[in-house]
């Protein structure tokens, strides 16, 4: 549901049906078996989806204001965590509901776009501890459009876990007290904006070490009003 009032917009969403993310098969390139090594004949615990009922109903609410040269957003949500945790003595994997509150803001200064965002996430569950954890995220970004047909940006985010325990750094949680994500992107349009070539690099870091990421180079081209061509390559890091 969306409602508009002058420069303000209110968006509300209710999701009654519980669905979890699809995951790659264990042993595939996207889920290496050495992350969770299993003894011969053993199987990975079942991945269960929470029941679709009132208690598990998810919702999201956002207030957005768009003004001359800047905008502002406030949002809150209760949704299923995208990461699973073990239950029933590690015989079942399931997803817990988390709560989120956040504020985002962008400001235009000449050819620059300044971005900032903070959020607070509650009720995160992990496998190495029975205590629920809370997390504080902060992001700052900068985008430049001062060169014709060229757009470039950089965004840096830090995620801080409260009441962190060092054992959470081990498998299967692989979590750190402070984790960073750095994303840079460059896009160039050509031939009257029919074509666009883009490069994106994103890295995850903790304790001044790179913990993975990817680099992606791709090309979009409108061959006609009905056909678009898209080709690219991705290099996974770590």
Q: Which residue has the tokens 């595939």?
A: 28
- Report whether pLDDT(54) > 70: yes
Q: Is the pTM of this model over 0.75?
A: yes
CA distances from 131 to 72, 92, 93 (A): 34, 18, 17
Q: Which residue has the tokens 């998810």?
A: 58
| Mean confidence (pLDDT) of the chain | 91
Residue 78 or 127, more confident: 78
CA distances from 5 to 2, 11, 16, 64 (A): 10, 12, 27, 10
Give the pLDDT confidence of 147-170 residue by residue, as tens digits: 999 999 999 999 999 999 999 998
CA distances from 42 to 36, 46, 76, 91 (A): 11, 12, 41, 12
């Amino acid at each position: 549901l969306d409602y508009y009032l002058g420069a303000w917009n209110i968006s509300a969403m209710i999701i009654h049906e519980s669905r979890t993310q699809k995951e790659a098969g264990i042993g595939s390139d996207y889920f290496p078996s050495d992350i969770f090594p299993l003894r011969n004949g053993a199987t990975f615990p079942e991945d269960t989806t929470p029941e679709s009922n009132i208690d598990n109903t998810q919702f999201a609410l956002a207030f957005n204001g768009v003004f001359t040269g800047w905008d502002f957003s406030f949002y809150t949500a209760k949704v299923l965590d995208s990461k699973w945790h073990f239950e029933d003595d590690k015989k079942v994997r399931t997803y817990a509901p988390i709560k989120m509150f956040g504020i985002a803001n962008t400001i235009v200064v000449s050819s620059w776009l300044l971005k900032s965002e903070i959020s607070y996430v509650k009720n995160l569950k992990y496998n190495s501890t029975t205590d629920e954890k809370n997390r504080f995220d902060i992001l700052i970004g900068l985008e430049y459009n001062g060169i014709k047909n060229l757009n470039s940006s950089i965004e840096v985010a830090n995620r801080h876990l409260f009441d962190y325990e060092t054992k959470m750094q081990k498998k299967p949680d692989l979590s750190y007290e402070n984790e960073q994500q750095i994303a840079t992107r460059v896009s160039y349009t050509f031939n009257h904006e029919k074509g666009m070539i883009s490069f994106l690099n994103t890295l995850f870091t903790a304790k001044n070490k790179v913990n993975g990421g990817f680099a992606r180079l791709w090309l979009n081209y409108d061959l006609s009003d009905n056909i678009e061509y898209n080709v690219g390559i991705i290099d996974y890091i770590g």
